[in-house]
Structure 1
Amino acid sequence: MIDAHCDLLYQLWLHNYDVNFSDNLQFDLTKWRNSPVKIQAFSTFVPDNVPANQQFNVALKMVEIFYEKIIYPNPDIIPIQSKSDIENLEENQLGAILTLEGCHPIGNDINKLIRLIDEGVRIVGLTWNNSNAVADSITSHNNKGVSRFGEDVIQLLNEEMIWTDVSHLSVQGFYDVIEQADHVIASHSNAAHICPHPRNLTDHQIKSIIDRDGLIGVTFVPEFTKEADIVTIPDLIRHIDYFIEMGASDQLCFGSDFDGITNTIVGLENVLGFHRIKSYLTEHYSKSIVEKITRQNFINKFPRIK
């Protein structure tokens, strides 16, 4: 299985937990190795309370944590920077992808984004919940779209064959990306028809992603899944059902958001819950659909070939 979003790097930067095992983490290396997840995307997320002049250094620190705590000490964990890296993974190896959640750490300096891409970032979220020089976020009252600088960012991502991530992006920004980006992903968003949270995708947005042959990472955030105090795996499966009804079977993957959430779906308290997800999928869908959602869609659409 492949998971397109988790915030382990943020937790390791903030608390210096033991990456090998910690009860405080929803994702650690021991849980990962005991889960069915073969490839994991690790988000570089800099909280917006970090002073602007320090944000890029914090982002680089998280990149350093990625390599020094996850990659270098663990020869069975391979950094994934291209589709060929995925295809060359051996049976006993795991893959790790570096991503960026929000472009606020780069300010208005595209060279900082180039540096992060050179470090291995392969999915770039234009915003988190805070607006920045690239675009407005979904929480903005202005609902402005992608800025002139943001257009330059998207052009760079197109040239570098990097995914442009629309999760957290304003509605206008979403459609700007749909128009401008070659490789579109909503790394962790669910269906607004099932749960009308602003972070979820409307029917029109889902159709737009289908038309652009993009990806949608079904997320385990409880408040994006159901308006209830207790949320269960069948509640999450309803979103998958709906996406498939909308014709998005070739667009679906997973974006758990583990370690970026406090509350969890019952049975999905940590990465080991992917065992339960896999069982539910096997019971509800054909083998070909399960293969698409759990891994093949992500691999097929990975932008950079080599």
Structure 2
Amino acid sequence: MDIIDLHCDVLFKMSDAEEPLDFKNAPQLQANLDRLKKGKVKVQVFAIFVDETVPQSRKYLEAIRQIELFQTQVLAPNPEMVHITDWHQLERLQDGEIGAILSLEGCDAIGADLFKLQAILDAGVKLVGLTWNNENAVAYGAQNDPNLGLKDFAKEVLALLNERDILIDVSHLNMQGFWDLLPIANHIIASHSNARALCDHPRNLTDEQAKALIEQGGHIHLVYYPGFIVDGDKSVTMDAFIQHFIHLADVVGVEHLGIGSDFDGIPYFVENLHNASQAQNLIGKLQEHFSEDEVKGIASNNFLSYVKKMQK
């Protein structure tokens, strides 16, 4: 069953490696090309993520370097990788092709310079999160004070993202930032978050947030990281992960759920879900709890429906 995965950190891992990593088959990459194929991942979102330890003066250049890695190491040597710059391309992918989408995980790289964001969007970025876990010039992250809202610069950023029909990602935003963003974002999504009712972590969504996000036309993709599945655990069962799908399906409807693995950004794993080649293990477990059409929805069809509605 084909899968659309809304988050991986392949580009960061490639940029951070001491020796070059071959996207095709480097064993260090949990979401390398061979593993994506084996796991039937039909569309993969590649995040541009700049570590908070990088000096601000170098963050934009690091973001551009990851875009270059995407172009020269992910796309150029691998003709089966198709850069998705228009959502209509998803419907035209051929057998054997994998759609590759760029996202920006946090606006740290742009500082307070809107022209830098324009340049990053011009590279084909289709999804943007305002923050990672830390504060930047736009907003506050999940590890900051939950009572602090969006900053003034966010108005300019959101105006540009709305104008370009960019998906705006809330997965790393703090609580007040989420509520500030909700009524002014045209297209909203949580690319890799779970249910806070089952795991009380600020990176997860409360039931109230989940309902509000869906009422605003949004979508929720669940993440494989054990620390967002069971409090404090480094290794969890697939059954524990499935409980988050069941809970959120009860809260907002299974038709609003998808997958955002966070491969290459996580050091610990769900059992039998250690890399993209094992993605069908998750599909098999979902089939024990949901109908075939519902599982196809979670795997890919729900997101396809979401972007079709967005285009209308």
Matching residue of 1:171: 175
User: Which runs of 5 or more residues in structure 1 are unaligned?
Assistant: none
Shift of 1:305: 4.3
Matching residue of 2:263: 258
Matching residue of 1:276: 281
Matching residue of 1:55: 59
8 A Cα contact 2:146 2:176, kept in partner: no
Matching residue of 1:6: 8
Measured against aligned partners, the alpha-carbon deviations of 1:241-276 in whole angstroms (never above 9, x if no partner) come to: 001110232221111100001111111110112110
Correspondent of 1:239 among 238, 244, 251: 244
> What is the aligned residue count?
306
Q: Which amino acid aligns with 1:101?
A: E
Shift of 1:230: 3.1
Measured against aligned partners, the alpha-carbon deviations of 1:257-297 in whole angstroms (never above 9, x if no partner) come to: 00001111111110112110111122221122112111112
Q: Which amino acid aligns with 2:237?
A: T
Query: What's the % identity of the aligned pairs?
Result: 39
8 A Cα contact 1:136 1:143, kept in partner: no
CA RMSD of aligned residues (A): 1.4
Shift of 1:229: 4.4
Correspondent of 1:26 among 30, 41, 54: 30
8 A Cα contact 1:164 1:177, kept in partner: no
Correspondent of 1:45 among 41, 46, 49: 49
8 A Cα contact 1:137 1:143, kept in partner: no
8 A Cα contact 1:26 1:259, kept in partner: yes
Shift of 1:53: 0.7
Separation in 2, partners of 1:13, 1:27:
15
Please give the secondary structure, in 2, of the residue aligned with 1:250: helix
Shift of 1:33: 1.6
Q: Which amino acid aligns with 1:22?
A: A
Correspondent of 1:298 among 272, 295, 303: 303
8 A Cα contact 2:146 2:175, kept in partner: no
Measured against aligned partners, the alpha-carbon deviations of 1:198-252 in whole angstroms (never above 9, x if no partner) come to: 1110011011111012111100010000123430111110000001110232221
Separation in 2, partners of 1:111, 1:299:
30
1:149 and 2:153 matched = yes
8 A Cα contact 1:213 1:251, kept in partner: no
Separation in 2, partners of 1:250, 1:207:
13
Q: Which amino acid aligns with 1:158?
A: N
Correspondent of 2:225 among 216, 221, 229: 221
